[in-house]
Amino acid sequence: MTRTCFVLKIRPGCVEEYEARHAQVWPELVEAMRQAGIRNYSLFRRGLDVIGCADCDPDGETAFRRIAGTDVDKRWSAWMDDVIETETDAAGDLLFAREIWHMD
């Protein structure tokens, strides 16, 4: 299990819609995330920036690649496309942040 952090940006004028959609995350998406190895998942917002943190098995790259291959994640991503400005790098990978320090 690896702690993972990534960042993305909400489109200007879409903060309320972004938050409203996350107030009703689809149960089938949550189950698919669990099956992909994603646990203890939180999103934090500061202005238009969103920081995602999760515990991933075996690591973030693998777990998020697994979920990205599911039909439910493809539908969710398409639904969120009009409110998220940037979500991946040029290769299509999440913009992961490297952990510098941790305290239990």
Q: What is the pTM of this model?
A: 0.91
User: How high is the pLDDT of residue 60?
Assistant: 95
The residue ranges of every structural domain in the chain are 2-97
- CATH architecture of the domain 2-97 equals 2-Layer Sandwich (3.30)
pLDDT at residue 87, rounded to an integer: 78
User: For residue range 41-93, what is the model confidence (pLDDT) as tens digits?
Assistant: 999 999 999 999 999 999 999 999 999 999 999 999 999 999 999 778 888 88
pLDDT at residue number 86: 78
Cα–Cα dist 84/103, whole Å: 31
Each residue of 2-39: pLDDT tens digit? 999 999 999 999 999 999 999 999 999 999 999 999 99
Helix axes 15-22, 71-80, angle to 10 degrees: 150
Binned at pLDDT 50, 70 and 90, residue 40 comes out as: very high
Burial class (CB in 10 A: 0-12, 13-18, 19+), 41: middle
For 30, which DSSP code? Answer: H
What pLDDT does residue 9 have?
96
Annotate 36-88 with three-state secondary structure.
HCEEEEEEEEECCEEEEEEEECCCHHHHHHHHHCCHHHHHHHHHHCCCEEECE
